[in-house]
């Protein structure tokens, strides 16, 4: 008889929030400093270093998009 251990089992590997993501080299659009970002920069869209991103974002909370597509069904 095999026991599953029950209770919480931390996930190993996978692509969760704590997973290592590839980093891409970029140049900050505001200060010109070399930086790395966790996404592929897109031509025509600004990329900011950590410090400039905090300034540009200001007091706004981080955007959360869980793939809902913005469509609601009632």
Name the band, by pLDDT with cuts 50, 70 and 90, for residue 16. low
Answer yes or no: are the C-beta atoms of 23 and 41 closer than 8 Å: no
For the stretch 17-42, pLDDT in tens is 666 889 999 999 999 999 999 999 99
Whether residue 6 is contained in a domain is answered as: no
Whether residue 41 is contained in a domain is answered as: yes
Whether residue 67 is contained in a domain is answered as: no
Whether residue 28 is contained in a domain is answered as: yes
Whether residue 37 is contained in a domain is answered as: yes
pLDDT above 60: residue 10:
no
Whether residue 33 is contained in a domain is answered as: yes
Rounded CA separation 54/56 (Å): 6
Q: What is the end-to-end Cα distance of the chain in Å, rounded?
A: 47
Rounded CA separation 28/36 (Å): 9
State both tokens at 13: 């590997």
Domain count of the chain? 1
| Over residues 50-71, mean pLDDT | 77
Whether residue 63 is contained in a domain is answered as: no
Q: What is the pTM of this model?
A: 0.54
Task: Give every CB contact of residue 26 below 8 A, 6+ residues apart in sequence.
Answer: 34, 35, 36, 37, 41, 47
Name the band, by pLDDT with cuts 50, 70 and 90, for residue 57. confident
Q: Which domain holds residue 51?
A: 24-57
Whether residue 64 is contained in a domain is answered as: no
């Amino acid at each position: 008889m095999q026991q599953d251990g029950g209770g919480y089992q931390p996930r190993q590997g996978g692509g969760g929030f704590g997973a290592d993501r590839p980093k891409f080299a970029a140049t900050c659009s505001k200060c010109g400093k070399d930086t790395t970002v966790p996404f592929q920069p897109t031509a025509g869209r600004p990329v900011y270093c950590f410090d400039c991103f905090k300034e540009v974002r200001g007091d706004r909370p981080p955007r959360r998009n869980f793939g809902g597509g913005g469509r609601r069904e009632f």
